[in-house]
Structure formats: C-alpha cells, structure tokens
C-alpha cells in the first residue's frame, strides 16, 4: 500500500493566538481558520459536545501543514509543557530554515527557548530544539556545506 501524502499534523493548544503568532514568525502562513462542532465532529474525535477553533498553517512551499486546535469544550486533561525530548508521544516537528541564528532571535520574543544547544552536525546541518508555546518542541535545521 502506498500513502498518497501526509496532509497535516494536528497540535492541540490552549492559546491559539500565541501559537499562530509563533508559527507565523517561523515562516508558516495561515491557510484558514474555522470553528467546528456538532455530532459529526463528536463522532470523529470520540468526545461529546465538542466545540473547537482551528487554524491551518502551511509552509510557504505548500507541502507541509500544521493544524492548531483549541478546544473550547470539553475541557481536556492538562499536558506537561516541560516534557523532555525523550517522553513518549509526538515529540517534535522539524523545519528547515535559511538562517538559524536569525530565526532563533525572531522566535525568542514569542517565548521560544533552546532545549539544548545549537550544534553543527557533521558537515551537513546546524541543528537545535526550541520549546515554543504550549511546550511544543520545534527542531530547526540549517543546511550547510
């Protein structure tokens, strides 16, 4: 079986506006926003009484998308925004950037903090993990050489 493509990755957030601002600063574009609710939504996500706001973010090339979701109801369990990089579950998303130091500087006012260090990996990439809003870990990669 061959998958046609990966459509998007969904990330649940508490502060949709802060998450959108962070990813816009990173270079993603808001493709669309909407609020969803109703029996069909309840059945899809396996919850009752769902009402959620969503923002679809896309990379400038149009090939990558993140769906940011804020549930108005029902209330969900709290997550661990300080979970380490090796905790089970979806742990990070990676974006290739042209100037990693510039991107880091632009993301800091949006709450981004280095998880470890900015490191040159062999002769191929400069890499780092940053923790953004809601504890989301974003890996940044600048191709070198």
Render each residue's pLDDT in the chain as its tens digit; 145 residues.
787 888 999 999 999 999 999 999 999 999 999 999 999 999 999 999 999 999 999 999 999 999 999 999 999 888 888 898 888 888 899 999 999 999 999 999 999 999 999 999 999 999 999 999 889 999 999 999 8
Helix, strand, coil % over all residues of the chain, rounded to 5: 20, 40, 40
Tokens encoding 29:
């574009």
Q: Identify the structural domains of the chain with CATH numbers, from first to last.
A: 9-73 (3.10.180.10), 92-143 (3.10.180.10)
Q: What is the pLDDT of residue 6?
A: 84
- Residue 112 CA to residue 137 CA, distance in Å, equals 9
- Residue 112 CA to residue 108 CA, distance in Å, equals 5
Q: Which residues contact 58 (CB under 8 A, 6 or more apart)?
A: 28, 29, 31, 64, 65
């Amino acid at each position: 079986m061959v998958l046609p493509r990966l459509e998007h990755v969904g990330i649940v957030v508490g502060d949709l506006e802060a998450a959108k601002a962070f990813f816009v600063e990173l270079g993603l574009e808001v493709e669309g926003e909407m609020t969803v609710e109703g029996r069909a939504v309840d059945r899809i996500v396996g919850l009752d009484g769902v009402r959620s706001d969503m923002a679809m973010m896309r990379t400038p090339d149009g090939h990558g998308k993140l769906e940011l979701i804020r549930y108005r109801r029902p209330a969900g369990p709290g997550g661990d925004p300080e979970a380490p990089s090796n905790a089970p579950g979806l742990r990070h998303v990676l974006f290739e950037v042209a100037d990693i130091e510039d991107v880091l500087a632009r993301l800091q006012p949006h709450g981004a903090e280095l998880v470890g260090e900015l490191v040159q990996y062999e002769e191929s990439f400069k890499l780092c993990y940053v923790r953004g809003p809601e504890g989301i870990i974003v890996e940044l990669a600048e191709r070198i050489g």
